[in-house]
Amino acid sequence: MSSNVKVRFAPSPTGYLHIGGARTALFNWLFARHNKGVFLLRIEDTDQQRSTEEATQAILDSMKWLGLDWDEGPYFQSQRLPVYKQHAEKLVEQGKAFYDTDAEGRKAIRFTMQDGVTEINDLIHGTITFDTSLIEDFVILKADGFPTYNFACVVDDAEMGITHIIRGDDHISNTPKQIALYKAFGFKMPEFAHIPMILGEDGSRLSKRHGATSVTEYRDKGYLPHALVNFLALLGWSPGNDQEIISIPEMIEKFTLKRANKTSAQFNNVKLDWMNGQYIKNTPVEQLIPEVKEFFEKSGVDMTKIAERWLFNLVELHHERFRTFQDLLNQTRFFFADTIEYDQTAVGKFLKKEGVGELLKEVHSAISQVDNFDKKNLEDSLRALTEKLGIGFSKLAQPMRVAITGRSVSAGIFETMELLGKEKTIKRLNYAIKNQCETPEAMRF
């Protein structure tokens, strides 16, 4: 395909960037990069009631976060009103549109639709036929001087030299009106490719009830941008094999619309979490630290007294265990809290058994004598204790784990105790010993 390819992503700034919109932007971006073409960003902000500067900024921020850089723009339709007026009046002069006056005497311009059959050769769906006799004459310029969607995007796409229009298949119904306008102006017709919509896991259209639906929400939940891009690329497109982890350079190399699916893709949160986990595991710990720090700070953790080395050790210890930064925070929150929530089930299973209090006293006594409170010395001390008591280490490990972390699952117990530090570890053991027969509450040290 020639390097004259030029595509656009044209969101309306009426809310955050939806996952479906992000995938449309990604497909356009990949198509442009694969064909060494141009990727243009246009903000379609002609809906005066619903368009906001906040939404515009959220869209721009989401695009940047995903790494979808644009070559031209952003252009704003609200700044091009004279252009639309001039084009609409030209159609009136040619007898292809007419003034339509409402009851209050305000004049809009309405396009005259011709009866007939319109065909497009969609690059994904093949031939699609429309009976234009079923389409009424439609407004192209409202009385307030603002253009309607179908009119503005045709004028802009033609003036900006867009060669391929890649968008969601919810726009198929708009296409015959747009083709009629292209023909009326004598504009060169672009090629159309309509991507099937994204469905929720229940098979219905993806919406808020399925969970997060905006790029911002996924960023704020602690996903990596490249993982989300990888996931979105495979929602409706295949590199031609069963490959699931695919780098951006590989996507660019392999991306063609011939490999786009004709059927809707289903959003699978479990797969996204798995994929994000793979990206986290394959990212060196030192590269994760700035993002972890920022995420923890935004989540209310006071990071001002946290040493970089300590944070590195924390992330390294959990590197294989978390799939999102939110996951990591959930697993490690007890390190930062004066108050930790004890899992009731874990307390009932491991702390309320007969003799556990005495065992924890033995642990308390043993580790109180450990001067260099590191993994090796802790392990040596506690292994020696199990030999002295004649019990398996698991008899100690689980009650210790629940007493110190509040949960029955954690990273390695010796590493966890080392990172928590001697003072906090002993305080938490003390609390468990004194209260292990009581009903556990949120416990303060």
Question: Which run of H or of E encompasses 402?
Answer: helix 393-405
**Whole-number Å distance between alpha carbons of 296 and 302:** 8
Q: What is the DSSP letter of 169?
A: G
Name which of 261, 314, 249, 259 is nearest 288 in CA terms. 314
Closest-CA residue to 261 (of 292, 239, 285):
239
* Cis peptide preceding 74, ω within 30 of 0: yes
Task: Work out the burial of residue 439: count CB atoms within 10 Å of its CB; fewer than 13 is exposed, 13-18 middle, 19 or more buried.
Answer: exposed
Minimal CA–CA distance to 144: which of 108, 99, 101?
A: 108
Q: Are strands 198-199 and 265-266 parallel, antiparallel or unpaired?
A: parallel
Residues 166/195, Cβ–Cβ less than 8 Å: yes
Residue of 64, 90, 208, 361 marked active site: 208
DSSP string, 297-363: HHTT---TT--HHHHHHHHHHHTTT-SSHHHHHHHHHHHH-SEEPPPHHHIIIIISSTTHHHHHHHH
Concerning whether 208 is annotated as a catalytic residue, the answer is yes
Tokens of 422: 């001697």
Residues flagged as binding site for ATP: 208
Residues marked active site are found at 208
